[in-house]
């Protein structure tokens, strides 16, 4: 299917997060919609990116000036969350590897507590942590991710709250000079990045060809899970980001950190 193909009026990239009942999109109207619980944990990063896309597609060009900052914030936040998702999953993979090593010496060893992405909003620092977490497990961030960090950071100019508030430090205007923000181009580039780096559908899809970085990490995590299970270890690796995965047919399932139990003899 081409990247621009539509299903129910929604771009292909977002099919991974929208809720389908068979082939019909489940909505609750303008009054509200459900979220949370076992099956309705959102893919937060993609959700913010989808919100930005909806605003771009439904707003006349003449009206974009009033909402350019909210759109830019949604885009930027989606990117930050995606980076932190990768960081957390890399930390979980590292913890799993450490547990496998411990299991070889002591079958009763407890699973280590993985690190968690820092409470940090400056994109260069978020990128640095993600890069270090990936390097520790023999992986790295694609160049496209680094380029997007550089691009957004230049607009922010070291003030990540610039999008959210009318004034920043010392009550100076967030944008004291007229600034053109290419939100349309940024949206297209982010959607491309999400498709090639941050999106994960199913394990079967992830095993085909050049899988996105996030999918590669999920596969590695699942391999560790299987190996630990074969060793008969008890416990679970916490802190794996909850991911809802969608097959091309729209069927949903969820992945959580599994709990391993010793097999019955």
* Residues 107, 109: Cα–Cα separation, whole Å: 6
16 φ, ψ (degrees, to nearest 5): -70, -20
Give 228's DSSP letter.
H
pLDDT bin (cut points 50, 70, 90) of residue 182 is very high
Q: In Å, how far are 47, 130, 165, 186 from 94, measured between CA atoms? A: 27, 13, 38, 32
Percent of the chain with pLDDT over 70: 69
**Are residues 220 and 93 in contact, defined by beta-carbon separation less than 8 angstroms?**
yes
pTM of this prediction exceeds 0.85: no
Instruction: Kindly tell me if the per-residue pLDDT of 144 is higher than 80.
Output: yes
- What average pLDDT does this structure show over 22-48? 64
SS (H, E, C) 28-60: CCCCCCCCECCCECCCHHHHHHHHHHHHHHHCC
pLDDT at residue 223 in the model: 85
Can you say whether the dihedral through the CA atoms of 181, 187, 192, 197 is positive or negative?
A: positive
pLDDT tens readout for residues 243-253? 433 323 333 33
- What average pLDDT does this structure show over 26-33? 58
pLDDT at residue 224 in the model: 85
pLDDT bin (cut points 50, 70, 90) of residue 131 is very high
pLDDT tens readout for residues 211-240? 788 888 888 888 888 887 776 655 555 444
Select the more confidently predicted residue: 43 or 27: 43
- What average pLDDT does this structure show over 81-110? 86
- Kindly give the interhelix angle for 213-230 and 64-105, rounded to the nearest 10 degrees: 30
Least confident among 35-39, 210-214, 254-258, 260-264: 260-264
Select the more confidently predicted residue: 144 or 234: 144
pLDDT at residue 5 in the model: 42
pLDDT tens readout for residues 98-130? 888 887 777 777 777 888 999 999 999 999 999
**Domain locations in the chain as residue ranges:** 6-260
Percent of the chain with pLDDT over 90: 33
């Amino acid at each position: 299917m081409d990247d621009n193909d539509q299903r129910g009026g929604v771009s292909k990239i977002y099919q991974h997060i929208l809720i389908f009942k068979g082939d019909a999109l489940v909505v609750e109207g303008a009054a509200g919609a459900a979220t949370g619980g076992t099956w309705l944990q959102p893919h937060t990063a993609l959700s913010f990116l989808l919100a930005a896309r909806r605003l771009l597609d439904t707003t006349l060009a003449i009206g974009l000036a009033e909402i350019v900052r909210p759109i830019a914030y949604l885009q930027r936040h989606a990117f930050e969350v995606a980076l932190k998702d990768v960081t957390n999953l890399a930390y979980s993979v590292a913890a799993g590897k450490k547990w496998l090593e411990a299991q070889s010496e002591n079958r009763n060893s407890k699973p280590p507590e993985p690190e968690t992405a820092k409470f940090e909003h400056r994109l260069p620092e978020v990128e640095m942590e993600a890069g270090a977490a990936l390097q520790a497990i023999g992986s790295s961030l694609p160049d496209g991710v680094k380029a997007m960090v550089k691009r957004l950071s230049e607009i922010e100019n070291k003030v990540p709250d610039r999008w959210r508030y009318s004034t920043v430090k010392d009550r100076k205007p967030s944008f004291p000079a007229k600034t053109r923000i290419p939100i349309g181009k940024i949206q297209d580039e982010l959607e491309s990045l999400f498709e090639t780096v941050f999106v994960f559908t199913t394990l079967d899809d992830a095993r085909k060809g050049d899988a996105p970085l996030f999918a590669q990490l999920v596969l590695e995590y699942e391999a560790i899970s299987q190996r630990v299970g074969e060793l008969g270890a008890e416990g679970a690796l916490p802190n794996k980001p909850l991911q809802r995965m969608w097959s091309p047919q729209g069927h949903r399932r969820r992945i959580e950190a599994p709990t391993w139990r010793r097999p019955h003899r």
